[in-house]
Amino acid sequence: MGEEAVRRGDGWADAVRASYEATHARLWRAVLGWSGSTEVADEAVAEAYAQLLRRGSEVRDPDAWAWRTAFRIAAGELARRRAAPARGDAAPEEGVLDQLPSDAAHLVEALGALSEQQRACVVLVDVVGHTAPSAARVLGTTAATVRVQLVRGRRRLRALLAEEEP
């Protein structure tokens, strides 16, 4: 429906545009914090909104769909990268940390040491501000799982950040 919706002028393109304007910056930062890669964040968010536009009005909640899809696209890209011999960890891509204030750089580096699930939960709840049920919908899991991973991730993150303090 995507291009056709734009040509016809129906409300779906406007709904997607409104969703994009309201949430894309937060979504991009969340995917960046989770993946450690500006390239992955750029691609995942852009592709999520492109797919959303093509899906048409079959999507009931454009914001939730875009979040869930962007994280799935990013997870797929990270899995492909891990399979490649060049990278095997969740360390931020080269140059990303240099662009951040030192506190933020330490946090992104520490987030990279968490498991993928813990990192996703911490970023969605503590960085972006989702509730556990909302984060669960994005991740395709239960709120209880998000809470457990959040506790574990926060504990590990505190320990990692405490190691870095003088």
**What number is the average pLDDT over the span 51-77?**
88
Whether 34 contacts 88, CB under 8 Å: no
Residue 144 identity (one-letter amino acid): A
**Which pTM value belongs to this model?**
0.62
Ranges of H-type helices in the chain: 2-8, 11-35, 38-55, 62-83, 102-111, 116-122, 132-139, 143-164
Report pLDDT digits (tens) over 116-143.
889 889 988 988 888 999 888 888 889 9
Question: Which pLDDT score, from 0 to 100, does residue 97 have?
Answer: 54
Domain count for the chain, please give it. 1
The range of the structural domain enclosing residue 95 comes to 2-164
**Taking 60 as the threshold, does the pLDDT of residue 91 lie above it?**
no
Report the chain's mean pLDDT, rounded to a whole number.
81
- Among 94-98, 101-105, 114-118, the range scoring the smallest mean pLDDT is 94-98
Report residue 166 CA to chain centroid gap: 31
